[in-house]
Amino acid sequence: MAQTRILSPAKNAYQYPLLIKQLLLSGPRYNPDQEIHYANRSKYTYTTLVERIHRLANALTDAGVKPGDTVAVMDWDTPRYLECFFAIPMIGAVLHTINVRLSPEQIVYTMNHAEDDVVLVHDDFLPILEGVKNEIETVKTYIQLTDSDSAADTSLDTAGEYEALLSQAGTEFDFPDFDENSVATTFYTTGTTGNPKGVYFSHRQLVLHTLAMTGSLAAYDEMPLLRSSSVYMPVTPMFHVHAWGVPYAATMMGIKQVYPGRYEPELLVDLLKEHKVTFSHCVPTIMQMMMATESIKTADLSNWHVLIGGSALTKGLCDAGAKLGIRMYTGYGMSETCPLLSATHLNPEDLELPLEQQTEKRVKTGIAVPMVEIEIVDPAGKPVPHDGEAKGEVVTRAPWLTQSYFKEPEKGEELWQGGWLHTGDVASMEPDNTLTIKDRIKDVIKTGGEWLSSLDLENLISQHPAVAGAAVVGVPDEKWGERPYALVTLKPGETASQEDIQKHLQQFVDSGDINKWAIPEQMDFVDDIPKTSVGKINKKLIRDQLK
CB of 147 to a copy of itself, least distance (A): 31
Element (H, E) at 288: helix 284-291
Q: Do residues 199 and 406 make contact, with C-beta atoms less than 8 angstroms apart?
A: yes
Give 5 or 479: the residue with its C-beta nearer to a copy of itself.
5
Half-sphere exposure of 201 (CA within 13 A, CB side): 33
Measured CA to CA, the distance from residue 89 to residue 327 in angstroms comes to 34
Peptide bond into 339 cis (omega under 30): yes
Give 319 or 430: the residue with its C-beta nearer to a copy of itself.
430
Measured CA to CA, the distance from residue 195 to residue 101 in angstroms comes to 14
Selection from 97, 94, 100, 107 nearest residue 123 by Cα: 100
Please state the length of the chain.
547
Q: Which residues contact 233 (CB under 8 A, 6 or more apart)?
A: 257, 258, 259, 260, 268, 271, 272, 275, 277, 279, 280
Residue 347: helix, strand or coil by DSSP? coil
The DSSP code sequence of 532-545 is -TTS-B-HHHHHHH
Beta carbons within 10 angstroms of residue 331's beta carbon: 26
CA dihedral (368, 532, 116, 263) positive or negative: positive
Give 152 or 371: the residue with its C-beta nearer to a copy of itself.
371
Give 91 or 291: the residue with its C-beta nearer to a copy of itself.
91
Measured CA to CA, the distance from residue 334 to residue 538 in angstroms comes to 17
Q: Looking at residue 382, what DSSP letter applies?
A: P
Beta carbons within 10 angstroms of residue 389's beta carbon: 10
Give 51 or 477: the residue with its C-beta nearer to a copy of itself.
51
Q: State in Å, rounded, how far the first CA of the chain is from the last one.
A: 53
Measured CA to CA, the distance from residue 265 to residue 262 in angstroms comes to 9
CB of 393 to a copy of itself, least distance (A): 16
CB of 115 to a copy of itself, least distance (A): 10
CB of 65 to a copy of itself, least distance (A): 12
Beta carbons within 10 angstroms of residue 157's beta carbon: 10
Element (H, E) at 445: strand 445-447
Measured CA to CA, the distance from residue 141 to residue 159 in angstroms comes to 6
Give 22 or 538: the residue with its C-beta nearer to a copy of itself.
22
Q: Which positions are catalytic? A: 189, 336, 446, 451
Give 126 or 376: the residue with its C-beta nearer to a copy of itself.
376
Q: Do residues 506 and 463 make contact, with C-beta atoms less than 8 angstroms apart?
A: no
Give 341 or 461: the residue with its C-beta nearer to a copy of itself.
341
CB of 336 to a copy of itself, least distance (A): 10
Half-sphere exposure of 118 (CA within 13 A, CB side): 25
